[in-house]
Amino acid sequence: MSYIQGFNRKQAVLIPETIEQLIAENNPVRFIDAFVNSQDVVALGFKDIRFNKNGRPPFHPKDLLKLYIYGYLNKIRSSRALEKEYIRNVELMWLIKGLVPDHNTISNFRRDNPKSIKKVFRATVNIAKNLDLIGGVLLAGDGTKLRAQNSKKNNYNQKKIDRHIAYIETKLAQYCNALETADGDKKKVIETKIAKQNKHKKQYQAIEKQLKQTGEKQFSSSDPEARQLVIRGVVTEVCYNVQSTVDHKHKIPIDYDLTNNNDKHAMTSMVENAIEIVGNNTFDAVFDKGYYTAEQIHKSQKLGVTTHVCVPNPASNAPDKAYNVSEFIYNKVQDTYCCPAGETLKTNGNWYNKRVYRVKQYKTKNCKLCPVKNDCTKAKYQRIIERHEFAEALDINKNNISKNPEIYAQRQAIVEHPFGTMKRQWGFDHIMTKKTKERASADVGFIFIAYNLKRIMNSIGIDRLIKHIILFWLEIGIKKRLNKLLKSFEHLKKLTVYFIENASPKSTTKQIAYF
């Protein structure tokens, strides 16, 4: 049986005369090259822009930026893996013109430029806007957890420290009792164990001291700013929480932020950034129940945005569910509540400070004689309904969802689409860097840059994208030159006026004639 045969490795072959001929016209690396070349790296704030007079000059930030974008687009994030790749990869040889930076140079570039990387991401969003890929009508926000470079074992809180110290104290007591009857080699072994436990005790006490000094509730030894957060149900992981806002039109993220907190207080800042990016505040904002915080919803609505935040199932706060707070109807005009039994609950108008919000209290004297009192409340005398200062915002939000259920139904398809691609298809379910949240944000920034560029390439096509970038930057260049000429004319005009106003009458006539 015959098989398809490969070529003879020792046989001479004809190859293209230049490496340029090895790269197809519609190869994605050509778009990466055009995109990065169109960026002003000085304005973006990348380090190592200026060459040193002494010693070897640094690599240009554009070349390292191209290297990283190519790597993330091809699921390569490690600096050592990239170091191997550009030696054997023809596309990378073409992209960075045969340069061979070592893994330390590559790693330091990502470490030192988190803010500039965020600006490059914004540049991808601007391209999407210019190509009409962002609608700005419906935006969805959500967070996803990415594991940090820190194990649960090396994450500590006060409860865990107390448990460890209590265990050590128990062991020390046992060793001390054993030491009283031990002799010879056995005594030395016990003394060694005591010294070891005392060493561990000092380590835990040092961590406890650090927690008290910083006021933090957790400490992670490998990545100090990572936190143990709930992934789902009761499952926890030491991780970061990536917040992202995604436009519905082409599922393109327009903003991201790396936090070490849960979703509860992230909504307002996400909405504020979205308004600035899309240029309007008339869009619908969709969030899941993790963002259901009255103050955050109130602030977002004050910005002019229509909120659609999932309303959690109400807790049963009455012996019979038919008499839960959710069943009491509020009358805004009269500032009263009507209970399921038809009674009207009134307020004295005073505000009372609670743990989080100010509240008004509503009640009626008819509670005492009500036949369903025992089904409504366990209180001895009467049912008291509390309405906090942001309750109206929650009512508006609930009304938005009930009127347009199809809007909230799109949430998963919009915002979880990018997360699914990044974490499941690309395998970016953890943070590559460690030590600080800022370094971790650089890794996340490149993930979002790669996703946006991939999405734009799939939507528009590489040839059209390259033409768009060339024309766009030509237009910007022409505008800059025109502005420079206008400034020159304005300067010349001011000089003319100055000469006319400050020269003598005789010389003025000569100057006017000259001009």
pLDDT digits (tens, 9 = 90+) for 472-514: 665 555 555 556 555 655 655 565 665 556 655 554 444 444 3
Which pLDDT value is given to residue 512?
42
In whole angstroms, what is the distance from residue 191 CA to residue 99 CA?
58
Asked whether the predicted pLDDT for residue 316 surpasses 80, the reply is no
The SS3 call for residue 283 is: coil
Which pLDDT value is given to residue 406?
94
Which pLDDT value is given to residue 80?
93
pLDDT digits (tens, 9 = 90+) for 129-162: 989 999 999 999 999 999 998 888 888 888 888 9
pLDDT digits (tens, 9 = 90+) for 382-396: 888 888 889 899 999
pLDDT digits (tens, 9 = 90+) for 72-81: 999 999 999 9
Asked whether the predicted pLDDT for residue 55 surpasses 70, the reply is no
In whole angstroms, what is the distance from residue 109 CA to residue 345 CA?
64
Strand partners for 189:
none
Asked whether the predicted pLDDT for residue 314 surpasses 90, the reply is no
* 263 vs 509: which has the higher pLDDT: 263
In whole angstroms, what is the distance from residue 321 CA to residue 325 CA?
9
Total count of residues recorded for the chain: 515
pLDDT bucket at 262, cuts 50 / 70 / 90: confident
Asked whether the predicted pLDDT for residue 113 surpasses 90, the reply is yes
Share of the chain above pLDDT 70, in %: 88
Which pLDDT value is given to residue 448?
96
Which pLDDT value is given to residue 304?
92
pTM: 0.82
Arithmetic mean of pLDDT over the chain: 85
Q: What are phi and psi of 492, to 5 degrees?
A: -65, -40
| Identity of residue 149 | Q
pLDDT digits (tens, 9 = 90+) for 463-473: 888 887 777 66
* b/e 45-65 (16+ beta carbons within 10 angstroms → b): ebebeeeeeeeeebbbbeebb
